[in-house]
Amino acid sequence: MSARSEYAIVGGGPVGLGIAKCFTQAGLRFTLFEAEADFGGTWAISQASGLVYESTHLISSKKNTQFLDFPMPADYPHYPNHAQMLSYLRNLAAHYGLYDRAQFGARVASVEPNGAGCTVRLSSGESRTFSAVVIANGRMRTPLIPNYPGHFDGEIVHAADYRSRDIFRRKRVLVIGGGNSGCDIAVDASQTAERTFHSTRRGYHYMPKFIHGKPTQEWLMDIGSRFSSTDEYWTFVQREFKAAGYDPVDYGLPRPDHAIHQAHPILNSLLLYYVGHGDIRPKPDVRLFDGRTVEFADGTREEIDLILYATGYEMNFPFLSPEIRPRDGALELFLSMFHRKVDSLVFVGYFNAASGLGNLLNVGGALVTDYVMAREKNTDAFRVLRRLVRGPEPDIGRGQFLNTPRHRVETDLWKAIKVIQFFRSVLNPTATTVTESLR
């Protein structure tokens, strides 16, 4: 490897830090560009990039979220809050010397492939050339707001700008969106609002955050080996959830139109509780707005003061030219990571799985490290991989999920890990596996 080889990482959130950690461990030279004044990304509530709110806790347990070689503090709870998560990320950065490798307040204006590598130009006008660039600016970039007929005259807030339940005080609130954030915020609203309505497009499956004394995701992973088929496994799981009080139909909610494993899991131990107490009033999708009146698909109408949209985000790569910009963040990238035409561009963090941050980054970061090292040496294995990158997409479980924008980047955790480990073996036959340590 050339002594002058240097890499760029765009983004100092959890994913960018995970890649930077792997590069540091491999002895690679790199610069991490972060537009904010410190690390943290989504988890930094005081920064513009922060998307958390005062009540935010992890959805995945600390065991599934932490990096294997940098565990969270023993005194952290099973589900740390946003401040603990931010502290963990910044402590990781300090431990691996990433503050010395970062350029803060550095907004990337363009990334242009130049043949041998890429030129990165900052909004300040500074320009540098790197052997390869890892894009890790996050999936949640541009808030999505549905376009309903009519006009709403009250307050409108997107989850991207939500920080405290105080904004709901003494108001009639409608939360739109059935994902984890929508459910969390509906629970928040029920604590301070005069009345809380929660609008979802379909019926959903809900999981408790704990089952049989364990964080639910850990329990789900622990029991997998007991069953001979996926159907048998999920039938047992749903029976256990039913006994624990997590069948939405028992609360008058619509029966889901999909199997429990066909959608990203919603883990919330409070939503059904407050629905059952009448503090959250479920509603179907919105039909139209009429001033402060909202009409729903079932014909009911409610007077609303504030609407909070928890309706997701679009990915956004404004620093990439249109000809190399992924149009949907997934289908034009091989394994949602490797650009099919430009071998010096790698994307990390653009697929999702029912798991915590660490599980996929532990293996994904290792694959990216192996990739850039093999590319620099132009090994036979690298040329084989690039031929594969130009071919069909490997099976990482996408076909099993709902065909919705929310699930276009959803993957099956174990299939994704298996595929990543395969490509690591192509690039580096001596690569160690972490699969067993995750089980």
Q: How far apart are CA 428 and CA 139, in angstroms?
A: 29
Write the CATH number for 413. 3.50.50.60
**Phi, psi (deg, nearest 5) at residue 57:** -125, 165
Tell me which residue range forms the domain holding 394. Answer: 7-141+315-438
Does residue 297 lie within any of the structural domains?
yes
Does residue 126 lie within any of the structural domains?
yes
Cα distances from 70 to residues 18, 61, 77, 268, in angstroms, run: 11, 15, 16, 27
Is residue 331's pLDDT more than 70?
no
Q: Please say which residue of 309, 329, 364 terminates a domain.
A: 309
240-243-246 Cα angle (round to 5): 85
Return the SS3 of 392.
coil
**Same domain, yes or no, for 300 and 151?**
yes
Of all residues in the chain, the percent with pLDDT exceeding 90 is 79
**Cα torsion at 56, 302, 150, 190 (round to 10°)?**
-10
**Same domain, yes or no, for 299 and 340?**
no
pLDDT confidence of 4, banded at 50, 70, 90? low
Does residue 2 lie within any of the structural domains?
no
**Same domain, yes or no, for 32 and 161?**
no
**Same domain, yes or no, for 103 and 156?**
no
**Same domain, yes or no, for 161 and 122?**
no
Does residue 1 lie within any of the structural domains?
no
Return the SS3 of 109.
strand
**Same domain, yes or no, for 288 and 323?**
no
pLDDT confidence of 437, banded at 50, 70, 90? very low
Is residue 117's pLDDT more than 80?
yes
Return the SS3 of 329.
coil
Asked whether the beta carbons of 176 and 189 are under 8 A apart, the reply is no
Does residue 97 lie within any of the structural domains?
yes
Is residue 272's pLDDT more than 70?
yes
Q: Which residues have C-beta within 8 Å of that of residue 53, sequence separation ≥ 6?
A: 45, 82, 162, 163, 164, 185, 188
User: Residues 265-278: what's their mean pLDDT?
Assistant: 97
Q: What is the pLDDT of residues 159-208, one digit of tens each?
A: 999 999 999 999 999 999 999 999 999 999 999 999 999 999 999 999 99
**Same domain, yes or no, for 84 and 210?**
no
User: Residues 204-213: what's their mean pLDDT?
Assistant: 97
**Same domain, yes or no, for 153 and 286?**
yes
Q: Please say which residue of 309, 344, 367 terminates a domain.
A: 309
**Same domain, yes or no, for 120 and 161?**
no
66-70, 261-265, 273-277, range with greatest mean pLDDT: 273-277
Domain count for the chain: 2
pLDDT confidence of 438, banded at 50, 70, 90? very low
**Same domain, yes or no, for 130 and 151?**
no
How confident is the prediction for the chain on average, in pLDDT? 92
**Same domain, yes or no, for 197 and 341?**
no
pLDDT attached to residue 433: 54
Region of poorest pLDDT, from 265-274, 347-356, 360-369? 347-356
